[in-house]
Amino acid sequence: MRKIGINVRANVRYGVGPFMDCLAATGFESVFTYGNDPEFVEFTAKKCAELGILYEALHAPHDRINDLWASDDSGEAVIKMFKTSMDLASGNGIPIVICHLSSKEDAPHVSDAGLARFDRIVNYAAKKNLTIAVENQRKLGNLATILEIYGKDSPVGFCWDVGHEACFACGREYLPLFPDRCVFTHIHDNNKLYNVDEHLLPYDGLIDFRHIADEIHAANYRGTLALEIDLPHEGSEKYANLSLEQFVSKAYAAVNRLRIIAE
* Residue from 66, 203, 49, 91 nearest 142 by CA: 66
Average pLDDT over residues 234-248: 95
- Of the pLDDT bands very low, low, confident and very high (cuts 50, 70, 90), residue 78 is very high
Domains of the chain: 4-262 (3.20.20.150)
With pLDDT > 70 as the criterion, what percentage of the chain qualifies?
A: 100
* pLDDT attached to residue 153: 96
| Phi and psi angles of residue 200, each rounded to the nearest 5 degrees, phi first | -90, 165
* pLDDT tier at 65, thresholds 50, 70, 90: very high
What is the rounded distance in angstroms from the CA atom of residue 91 to the CA atom of residue 86? 8
pLDDT digits (tens, 9 = 90+) for 195-224: 999 999 999 999 999 999 999 999 999 999
0.75 surpassed by pTM: yes
pLDDT band at residue 233 under the 50/70/90 scheme: very high
Identify the pLDDT of residue 90: 98
| CA gap 93, 87 in Å, rounded | 10
Residues with Cβ within 8 Å of 95's Cβ and at least 6 positions away in sequence, in order, are: 56, 57, 89, 130, 131
User: Per-residue pLDDT tens for 32-43?
Assistant: 999 999 999 999
Residue 121: pLDDT band (50, 70, 90) is very high
Cα 141 to Cα 102, 150, 200, distances in angstroms: 10, 14, 27
Q: What pLDDT is recorded for position 221? A: 98
Percent pLDDT > 90 in the chain is 98
pLDDT digits (tens, 9 = 90+) for 145-161: 999 999 999 999 999 99
Confidence of residue 244 (pLDDT cuts 50, 70, 90): very high
- Tell me the average pLDDT of the chain: 97
Q: What was the pLDDT predicted at 87?
A: 98
List pLDDT tens digits, range 3-27. Answer: 999 999 999 999 999 999 999 999 9
Mean pLDDT of 67-74: 95
Confidence at 258, pLDDT banded by 50, 70, 90? very high
